[in-house]
Amino acid sequence: MTEEKKAEMWLKRHTSYDCAICGVAHEPAQRPKVEYGKLTKAQRLAWDAASTYEYHSRFVVGSEEGEAVKRIKAWLKPGDTVYTVLRRRSSSGTCRHISTLGIAVENGKPRICDYTWNVAKIVGWKMDRDTGGIVVSGGGMDMGFHLVYTLSRIVFAKFPCIGDGCPSNDHVNGDRNYKVGHLHSDGGYALKHQWM
């Protein structure tokens, strides 16, 4: 590895940046060196800050991934439905090409929007040039749901409750608080999924 590449990687790991997901600046943070299961509250906060700094470093404001997050957040809100279209399935059944669509309202008129390129950038999966779908590997479950859940978990890491009809799984698991605004811990269910 060249010295320039090493310096670039060091700067990427030790530079503050504006995050498109959180909407705040992340500062470099070190993980505390502690034994497993014995973290104090301060150490847990330091650990979370370091993890978030590393995990969100792909979504710097101005990068392709960061701009994709900003567009998806402008187009989709918690509770919206993302529609998936199966473009191709491999003969072995372990790979699918899936497009993502949604309905946007502009000037009072609904129109169909294709989110596929932005979704591929956010989740970090490849797009197939021939089918125009995101390459989703794996099987044994609803892969369209898997794609939308992964997108939702990244974009809406902690999302506010939308009240009655909130899609969060926290409500299924005992959270009876439907007060608008309180935060849910898992953003994976912020968006709904439906096949077309």
Q: What is the pLDDT of residue 119?
A: 97
Domain boundaries of the chain, sorted by first residue = 3-61, 77-195
Query: In angstroms, rounded to a whole number, what is the distance separating the alpha carbons of residues 35 and 17?
Result: 30
Query: In angstroms, rounded to a whole number, what is the distance separating the alpha carbons of residues 90 and 121?
Result: 22
Percent of the chain with pLDDT over 90: 41
Q: What is the pLDDT of residue 144?
A: 96
Q: What is the pLDDT of residue 157?
A: 82
Low-confidence ranges of the chain (pLDDT < 70): 1, 6-13, 37
Contact 181, 158 (CB under 8 A): no
Determine which helix (DSSP H) or strand (DSSP E) holds 164, and give its type and residue range: none
Whether the predicted model's global pTM rises above the 0.85 cut: no
Q: What is the pLDDT of residue 6?
A: 65
Q: How many residues does the chain have?
A: 196
Q: What angle do CA 147, 82, 96 make, to 5 degrees?
A: 35
